[in-house]
Amino acid sequence: MLALFNLEQLLENGGLFVLAAIVFAESGLLVGFFLPGDSLLFIAGFLASEAGKNVLPPIPLVIIVTVIAAIAGDQVGYWFGKKVGPALFDRPKSKLFNPSHVVRAHTFLEKYGNRTIVLARFVPIVRTFAPVVAGVGGMEYKTFVKYNVLGGIGWGAGVPLLGFSLGRVDVVKDHIEIAILAVVFISLLPVVFEYISHRRSQNAPK
């Protein structure tokens, strides 16, 4: 992921516009599942800190843009799911779409209920498909909006603030690449645990 995306250079060149576009795409467009959401938000917070030489505007503005883009992206995903409906599960696999991602998000939604919209924010791939599945499943719109806003604020503010805060720590400033790798690793843990749990349930004797 880091080899594919030079996050620091992306944000230095594109600023808040690129930040908003990537967050929006990963939150609500099916083709955005491969985008580096967590690491992008972390490095955005870092670049808004003194350690990042204030490449981006002050952290409050970074957070506002991120939260708005995240909430708006999920809204689009919800209405897309609402419009497409169950047919989404029958779409053939392609380079830009894998039905297993939808199934994974659906399993996540069944397991955690409405809280999925908040929890999925912190789980790569699932956060892209969760709002779509919520729309497909007919989650009440008012309920979705409530959890969407909560999740958007929690993720859109929390991860940049983490990067901003750690940007003031000398060890992190001197080893920012390792810090980003750590963020990516931690963000992937829920996916790994969910996969292991799914495999165990499939192999369990019936």
User: Is 47 contained in some domain?
Assistant: yes
User: Is 206 contained in some domain?
Assistant: no
Residue written as token pair 């929006």: 24
CA separation for the pair 89, 180 (Å, rounded): 34
Q: Within the chain, how many helices (H) and strands (E) appear?
A: 9, 0
DSSP string, 70-110: HHHHHHHHHHHHHHHGGGGGGPPP-SS--HHHHHHHHHHHH
Average per-residue pLDDT for the chain = 77
pTM equals 0.77
Count structural domains, the chain: 1
Residue 139 pLDDT: 84
* Structural domain of 177: 7-201
User: Is 62 contained in some domain?
Assistant: yes
CA separation for the pair 45, 11 (Å, rounded): 11
User: Is 2 contained in some domain?
Assistant: no
The two structure tokens encoding residue 78: 């919800």
Indicate the range of 38-47, 49-58, 68-77, 92-101 predicted with least confidence: 92-101
